[in-house]
């Protein structure tokens, strides 16, 4: 941010790479339609950047991570309010490239993580994590941050990025930010705005189910999952895509419900697909 409190906005890759940089740069990659959870990631980034460091935010609706027929075209792109949120969060640099420049029409190189990506979201959304890893690797190369912040709301994405950074030796610290929720517990998401009022009301079952399962007396993974399933099934508009209890590092299913496990859920409310997760301690 300059002295007048303006965010430096850059569009082209050449311009992004030509920017003078502070001692430490912390990146928050997003797809825009920014909400208070993104604001919290920016706050975490600010703290991690330190007094002489800078916060960079990227906004890029990445076509490569949307499966055919999904919501790529209708994904919200509110440029002005996104800029405003970045400004009020004290962001220094906003990188908002075009899909045309990011992806050459004859592109033939991708980044693919093949173990953690094969379950859960990866199973439901083939190609999704290949798209995520490819764009995040490109953003890392373009902006060369010292650290990057990702939300635990996308638990599997965080695990996949951490694996990619380890496996490909990116010299970048990955910082995990906790899930930010609305007052009624629904995890903030740009996709929440697709919900009509009845779907929005019933969307609270995701977190209710996760909490019920995490606090349940039941001990076995199957019983704990059944507790969550019952809560979601009570909402007529909710349709479970997956509900799985896995090891927090391998993302493989577990024989025992604890320790170091996480319960992840994906639910359709009408056409909108929402995800959430909870650690079992
Ligand atoms: P998106 O713009 O949805 O791709 O998200 C950009 C970043 O914000 C990702 O690291 C997400 O995990 C994170 N994020 C989105 N929603 C939340 C939330 N409710 N709590 C914490 N992080 C979030």
* Residue 1 pLDDT > 80: no
User: What percent of the chain lies above the pLDDT cut of 70?
Assistant: 99
Q: At what angle do helices 205-214 and 221-233 cross, to 10 degrees?
A: 150
Q: Tell me: pLDDT of 239 over 70.
A: yes
Q: Which residue has the tokens 């798209």?
A: 131
Q: Is residue 234 predicted with pLDDT exceeding 80? A: yes
Residue from 34, 42, 153, 177 to probe ligand 1 pocket by mutation (most atoms less than 8 Å from CB): 153
- What value does the mean pLDDT take over residues 82-111? 98
Q: How far is the CA of 106 from the centre of ligand 1 (A)?
A: 30
Q: How many residues does the chain have?
A: 281
Q: How confident is the model at residue 21 (pLDDT cuts 50, 70, 90)?
A: very high
Q: Please tell me the distance from the alpha carbon of residue 119 to that of residue 201, in angstroms, as a whole number.
A: 29
Cβ–ligand 1 contact at 30 (below 6 Å): yes
- From 202, 183, 211, 216, select the one nearest 274 (Cα to Cα): 202
Determine the atom of ligand 1 nearest the C-alpha atom of 149: 10
**277 confidence band (pLDDT: 50, 70, 90):** very high
Q: Looking at residue 275, what is its pLDDT?
A: 98
Residue 41, ligand 1, Cβ within 6 A: yes
Closest approach atom of ligand 1 to CA 150 = 10
Question: Residue with structure tokens 């208070």?
Answer: 36
The full DSSP string for 58-124 is EE---GGGSPTTSSTTTS---HHHHHHHHHHTT-SEEE---HHHHS-TT--------SGGGSHHHHH
Cα of 66 vs centre of ligand 1, distance in Å, is: 16
Sort strands 261-269 and 238-247 into parallel, antiparallel or unpaired.
Answer: antiparallel
Residue of 30, 40, 22 whose CA lies nearest to 145: 22
| Residue 3: per-residue pLDDT | 62
For residues 246-252, average pLDDT: 97
The predicted model gives 72-78 an average pLDDT of 97
Query: Ligand 1: distance of its center to the CA of 223 in Å?
Result: 30
Is the CB–ligand 1 distance for residue 176 below 6 Å? no
Residue 150 Cα to ligand 1 midpoint, Å, equals: 7
Determine the pLDDT at residue 214: 97
User: Terminus-to-terminus CA distance in the chain, angstroms?
Assistant: 40
pLDDT tens digits, residue range 104-156? 999 999 999 999 999 999 999 999 999 999 999 999 999 999 999 999 999 99
> Residues 38, 52, 128, 247: which is the catalytic one?
38
Q: What is the pLDDT of residue 17?
A: 98
Query: Which of 34, 35, 38, 275 maximizes ligand 1 atoms within 8 Å of its Cβ, making it the mutation to test the pocket?
Result: 38
Rounded Cα distance between 228 and 219, Å, is 13
CA of 177 to the centre of ligand 1 (A): 9
Best mutation site among 26, 30, 70, 264 for ligand 1, i.e. most ligand atoms within 8 A of its Cβ?
Answer: 30
The protein residue whose alpha carbon is closest to atom 22 in ligand 1 is 151
User: Catalytic: 38?
Assistant: yes
- Please determine, for residue 2, whether its predicted confidence score (pLDDT) is greater than 90: no
Average pLDDT for the chain = 97
Asked whether 234 and 267 are in contact (CB, 8 A), the reply is: no
Q: What is the mean pLDDT of residues 31-51?
A: 98
pLDDT of residue 5: 76
- Tell me what percent of the residues of the chain surpass a pLDDT of 90: 95
24 CA to centre of ligand 1 in angstroms: 22
Asked if 221 and 256 count as a contact pair (C-beta separation under 8 A), the reply is: yes
- The per-residue pLDDT for range 202-220, each reduced to its tens digit, is 999 999 999 999 999 988 9
For ligand 1, is residue 154 a contact (CB within 6 Å)? Answer: yes
Q: What is the pLDDT of residue 281?
A: 84
- Predicted TM-score (pTM) of the model is 0.98
Distance CA 279, CA 180 (A): 14
């Amino acid at each position: 941010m300059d002295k007048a409190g303006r965010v430096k906005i850059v569009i082209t890759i050449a311009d992004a790479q030509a920017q003078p940089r502070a001692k430490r740069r912390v990146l928050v990659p997003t797809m825009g339609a920014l909400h208070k959870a993104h604001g919290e990631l920016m706050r975490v980034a600010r703290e991690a950047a330190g007094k002489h460091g800078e916060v960079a935010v990227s906004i890029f609706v990445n076509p490569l991570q949307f499966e055919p027929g999904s919501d790529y075209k209708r994904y919200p792109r509110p440029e002005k309010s996104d800029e405003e949120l970045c400004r009020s969060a004290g962001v220094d640099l906003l990188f908002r490239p075009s899909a045309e420049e990011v992806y050459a029409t004859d592109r033939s190189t991708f980044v693919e993580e093949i173990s953690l990506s094969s379950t859960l979201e990866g199973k439901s959304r083939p190609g999704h994590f290949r798209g995520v890893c490819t764009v995040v690797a490109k953003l890392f190369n373009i902006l060369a941050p010292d650290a990057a912040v990702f939300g635990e709301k996308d638990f599997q994405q965080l695990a996949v990025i951490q694996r990619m950074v380890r496996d490909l030796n990116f010299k970048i610290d990955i910082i995990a930010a906790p899930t930010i929720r609305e007052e009624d517990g629904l995890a903030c998401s740009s996709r929440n705005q697709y919900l009509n009022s009845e779907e929005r009301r019933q969307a609270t079952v995701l977190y209710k189910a996760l909490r019920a399962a995490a606090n349940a007396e039941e001990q076995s993974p199957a019983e704990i999952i059944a507790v969550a399933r019952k809560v979601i099934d009570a909402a007529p508009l909710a349709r479970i895509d997956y509900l799985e209890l896995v090891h927090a590092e391998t993302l493989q299913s577990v024989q025992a419900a604890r320790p170091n496990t996480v319960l992840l859920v994906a639910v359709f409310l009408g056409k909108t697909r929402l995800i959430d997760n909870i650690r079992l301690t």
